[in-house]
Structure 1
């Protein structure tokens, strides 16, 4: 038994080493796996309605493609224009801070931040001007490297192909993995897999819908108020909502500064607060109970720690993977805690027959 345990540990370590070694080529497969996981329930439902698996997968694949393409065509041009406006208005915003805000701070606190702000302003303007040059230089270097450009395009083209075949054989792959498990491990493994599936489904489907709805509420509300960059601020706030309360904090702070700079009216600031307050009300009373409930069960502090730890260890990829991995780890820890509470290690007076009794 001990030998089998060491073989299992060595196999897991070898697998981790292998995946870390090929990490640069995993991106299209990871994205395809997420898309296939999100689309499989809909494909199963179409199968239950009488469609063949191939036809069901084709319909789901077409819907996913349409959603992604329409999002890119509609949102990216608008975001591009608003980002361009931010670039143009940055010097004016910095001049306003220097001429209006700093004198107020000096009169209220007696602290003169003029010299430090001048240095910060110059650094920001220099780097901001260099952004376009840097992007052009980077694009030129990528274009000159035919191999790198071909690899990038190839990885991008792999995503729809791999997604289609994963969707087509998803149930077969799951059945083969289950059939390969040791027989005495299968009940516990299937139970854990089912709980992990519930948590991941709640997160990937529920949390993404919550983020999208909040982004739309914030973007539409700010745009109707006439706030500049309302679409950009709203969507970024929705994305930041992956961390509890971060989206509303970031959104109301940025929108408040932009609104005050644009209108100089305290009533407009209250209106901006009302937009974000309405979003939080909808999230707490409708979106969270209906889409997430208590399936994830991650404490807000645990969410913040997971995101920061993932970013520190694996960069942007770690941030994306932090919460799904944390949710799975939570399920495993809950399972281990349950066994620990029923073990003699927790209660030395427990008799063996007590552990087997319900």
Structure 2
């Protein structure tokens, strides 16, 4: 056993740079797991600054001075943040509350739809199965309604945390953007002077992750906005809430679109019934999803290396289980980072091995 471990260490950790990189990755993971909740505002600000950095660099390439570019991008970020907090968020919360109030009517209509299924399809669906589904749905809806009622009573600490975020995050984003080179150089001074592998990994991860995160933010904005306009034109109730869900669904490839289709179809069915209006809603929704997957995604992510679907799903499950929503959003960038690390990791070949001797 000791010999096996010694051989593995000699093969994968014979390079000093590999040892330092491994210790950095290990320390970073432990630090985020233990102190991630405490430093959540700083981590969120760093992520936002990472997303906005591309706009700053683009303005600089157009001849805009660095400080003017930082101020312009920061003011744009503040405008989007204020619009979200005081425009979209109250509208979505109002629609969530209205949906909770209409939950009993939706349950009654669901019961009427389910009641006729055993008569029309007696060989496929039994009355006991329909009753079990109805009881389960009623229980879940009751839990959601109870949570919405109690949320307003227990949300004072969350409101205090939200106020802290509203103050700290913009300040930290501004300084991360303004002093980004100073902070990066300060961290680089702690690394070995000769670090070609780390530099290569950094450039690869910066390119891939930056393109992915920025492209995903643009995709959420475009898909959500187009869905909201389409649903408003079609008279779909809860258009803001559903468009927000559709926009956020693009964060999780394959799974998100399938999951969010259920509330869109259910609300459309209860609003319009079985008819041409419901069919039009689903056709338009299907066109939006098709254009997103076949037109928008290739345009936005043309420079991002494609991962195998199995790797994407495993990454979403693993990182989502470790870090929740943030882990889901950054599952693909983290998987891309691991791919770049494994591809650049120095491996020492044993000259005495049969495979090397055969060469």
Alpha-carbon shift at residue 294 of structure 1 (Å): 5.0
Partners of 2:53 and 2:225 lie apart in 1 by: 26
Cα shift at 1:178: 3.7
Note if contact 2:211-2:303 (Cα within 8 Å) is conserved in structure 1.
no
Question: Partners in 1 of 2:41 and 2:300 — Cα distance?
Answer: 28
Greater shift, 87-96 or 306-315, is seen at 306-315
- For this pair of structures, how many residues does the alignment match? 342
How far did residue 135 of structure 1 move? 1.3
What does residue 127 of structure 2 align with?
112
Q: Identify the residue that residue 348 of structure 1 maps to in structure 2.
A: 356
For 2:267 and 2:336, locate their aligned partners in 1 and report how far apart those are by CA, in whole Å: 36
Specify the SS of the correspondent of 2:155. Answer: helix
In the TM superposition, residue 156 of structure 1 has moved relative to its aligned partner by 4.1
Calculate the aligned-residue CA RMSD, in Å: 3.2
Residues 202-229 of structure 1 deviation map (CA, whole Å, 9 limit, x = unaligned): 2111122112212222222222111222
How far the C-alpha of 1:326 sits from its partner, in A, is: 1.5
Confirm or deny: 8 A CA contact 1:306 1:322 kept in the other structure: yes
TM-score, scaled to structure 1: 0.82
Q: Does 1:163 align with 2:179?
A: no
CA–CA distance in 2 between the matches of 1:198 and 1:8? 19
Whether the 8 Å CA contact 1:252–1:272 is kept in 2: the answer is no
Tell me if 1:84 matches 2:94.
no
How far does the alpha carbon of each residue in 1:16-74 deviate from its partner, in whole angstroms, 9 at most, with x for none? 44443322221111111112112223223444555543333222211110111123222
Q: Quick check: 1:33 aligned with 2:46?
A: yes
Kindly state the Cα deviation for residue 238 of structure 1 after the two structures are TM-superposed.
1.8
Bigger drift between 35-44 and 126-135 goes to: 126-135
Summarize the Cα distance change of 1:49–1:295 in structure 2 as closer, same or farther, 3 Å threshold. closer
Structure 2 CA distance, aligned partners of 1:269 and 1:238?
Answer: 21
- Aligned equivalents of 2:106 and 2:14: distance in 1? 67
What CA distance in whole angstroms lies between the structure 1 residues aligned with 2:320 and 2:313?
11
Superposition map of 1:57-206 within 5 A: 57-109=70-122, 111-113=126-128, 115-117=131-133, 119-120=135-136, 122-124=138-140, 126-139=142-155, 142=157, 153-185=163-195, 187-206=196-215
Question: Are residues 72 and 350 of structure 1, via their aligned partners in 2, closer, same or farther at CA, if it must alter by over 3 Å?
Answer: farther
Could you list the per-position Cα deviations for residues 120-148 of structure 1 after superposition, in whole angstroms to 9, with x for gaps in the alignment? 355345424422442133135x3xxxxx9
Q: Alpha carbons of 1:307 and 1:25: their partners in 2 closer, same or farther (altered >3 Å)?
A: same
User: How many Å separate the matches in 2 of 1:3 and 1:225?
Assistant: 62
Instruction: Tell me how far apart the structure 2 counterparts of residues 243 and 62 of structure 1 sit (CA, whole Å).
Output: 29
Contact 1:28/1:156 (<8 A) preserved: no
Q: Secondary structure at the match of 1:25?
A: coil
Distance of 1:285 and 1:342 partners within structure 2: 43
- Give the match's secondary structure for 2:248: helix
Change in Cα spacing, 1:269 to 1:33, as seen in structure 2 (3 Å) is same
**Is 1:343–1:350's contact at 8 Å kept on the other side of the alignment?**
no
**Which structure 2 residues correspond to residues 249-260 of structure 1 after superposition, within 5 A?**
249-260=258-269
User: Would the aligned equivalents of 1:214 and 1:238 in 2 still touch at CA under 8 Å?
Assistant: yes
* 2:10 corresponds to: none
Q: What is the rounded CA distance, in whole Å, between the counterparts of 2:63 and 2:211 in structure 1?
A: 27
Most deviating of 170-179 and 217-226:
170-179
Tell me how far 1:253 sits from its aligned partner: 2.8
Aligned pair partner of 2:285 in 276, 284, 288: 276
Aligned partner (choices 274, 288, 297) of residue 288 of structure 1: 297
Superposed CA deviations along residues 267-294 of structure 1, whole A, max 9, x for unmatched, are: 2333223213322342244322221015
Structure 1 residues 8, 269: CA separation in 2 closer, same or farther (over 3 Å shift)? closer
| Cα distance in structure 1, aligned partners of 2:21 and 2:257 | 45
> Among residues 324, 331, 336, which one is paired with 2:340 in the alignment?
331
Give the superposition deviation at 1:85: 2.2
Cα displacement string for residues 288-332 of structure 1 (whole angstroms, at most 9, x for unaligned residues): 222101513122332222122122223334323323211211222
Higher relative contact order (CA 8 A, sep 6+): 2
